[in-house]
Amino acid sequence: MFIVSEEASGGRIDVELTRRTGFSRSHVAAAIRAGAASVDGEPAKPSRILEPGEVVTYTIAPPAVLDVRPQAIPLDIVFEDETLLVVNKPAGMVTHPAHGALDGTLVNALLAHTGALPGDPLRAGLVHRLDRDTSGLLLVAKTEAALGTLGRAMQKRYIKREYRGIVAGVPRESEGVIRGAIGRDPHNRLKYAIRADGKPAVTHYVLRTRFRDAAELTMTLETGRTHQIRVHFAALGYPIFNDPIYGKLDPRSPLPGQALHAWRLAFKHPVSKEQLAFEVSPPPAYLATLDALAS
């Protein structure tokens, strides 16, 4: 508990409690939204502006410590040598531990398979990531040198990634380019949105198959922003089919979430310099969704 001083007045409660606790602002704001803080006995919102003399009461627990441990989870390994792995991640598997998904992730499985991986322990070995319900190819580095080389190649857009995805509705144009900077949605922390102050993002698409009320496309990324394909197609008016965040679930699909699959991956090997290319078909639930739409 504390009484708001003249110096603290005029500021937001989430900013002041971030300063006092030392926790991240997102953690503090989430705690406040859950009822962890009050002003003069009344529940506060994170944006609440403080006034001199007000009494602030709060109880904010520290964030859970994320611990990454190996777990013997089966992996679909497409390619492996002493330098890197290419894996086919199933839909429904989280790529790396985070609050709300502390184990059972791809990184937990990778650590059990390799013993150790370079880089940030929470994202050990990952050159890029996929959303939980997006399936497909992921590139993993097994050495520090490979992680650095492949990370730079990703930044310079030398690593090519192509997706297959189903969208709700049929785009008017059979191919196109979507350009729109992406940042956090100011109204929903679980979402991203096209924003003027966001990071540049470019997605190319080509129509594969038309259905009555949906279409399958191939999508190629120039950039790799979080939720990029999902945000871009939702903004275009054709959200990814069965996407519970940017669209809606559809009972015709047995997929756990969005109908999106990273099916092609091409890059230069960081040691041999050989050009490698891989392709994996979408999982059975994705193909069943195509069948349902075609019937």
Of the residues 67, 81, 103, 131, only one is catalytic, namely 131
pLDDT, residue 194, reads: 96
Q: Does 64 score more than 90 pLDDT?
A: no
pLDDT, residue 98, reads: 75
pLDDT digits (tens, 9 = 90+) for 154-169: 999 999 999 999 999 9
Q: Does 68 score more than 90 pLDDT?
A: no
Mean local confidence (pLDDT), 25-31? 88
Joined together, the tokens standing for residue 109 give 């499985």
Q: Which domains does the chain have, with CATH numbers?
A: 2-58 (3.10.290.10), 77-294 (3.30.2350.10)
pLDDT, residue 25, reads: 87
Distance CA 225, CA 228 (A): 5
Distance CA 254, CA 245 (A): 17
Distance CA 172, CA 186 (A): 30
Q: Does 186 score more than 90 pLDDT?
A: no
DSSP 8-class letter at 118: -
The verdict on whether 40 is a catalytic residue reads: no
Contacts of 101 (CB under 8 A, 6+ apart): 94, 132
Mean local confidence (pLDDT), 95-115? 86
Q: Does 216 score more than 80 pLDDT?
A: yes
Distance CA 17, CA 30 (A): 12
Q: Does 218 score more than 90 pLDDT?
A: yes
DSSP string, 12-60: BHHHHHHHHH-S-HHHHHHHHHTT-EEETTEE--TTPBP-TT-EEEE--
Please tell me whether residue 247 adopts helix, strand or coil conformation. coil
Distance CA 287, CA 55 (A): 58
- Confidence at 65, pLDDT banded by 50, 70, 90: low
Q: Does 282 score more than 80 pLDDT?
A: yes
CA distance readout (Å), 284 to 5, 38, 142, 155, 280: 61, 50, 30, 32, 12
- Indicate the pairing of strand 84-89 with strand 135-141: antiparallel
Joined together, the tokens standing for residue 247 give 């669209």
**Chain centre distance of CA 234:** 16
- Confidence at 99, pLDDT banded by 50, 70, 90: low
State whether the Cα torsion 234-27-223-92 is positive or negative.
Answer: negative
The continuous run of DSSP H or E covering 219 comes out as strand 214-221
Please tell me whether residue 128 adopts helix, strand or coil conformation. coil
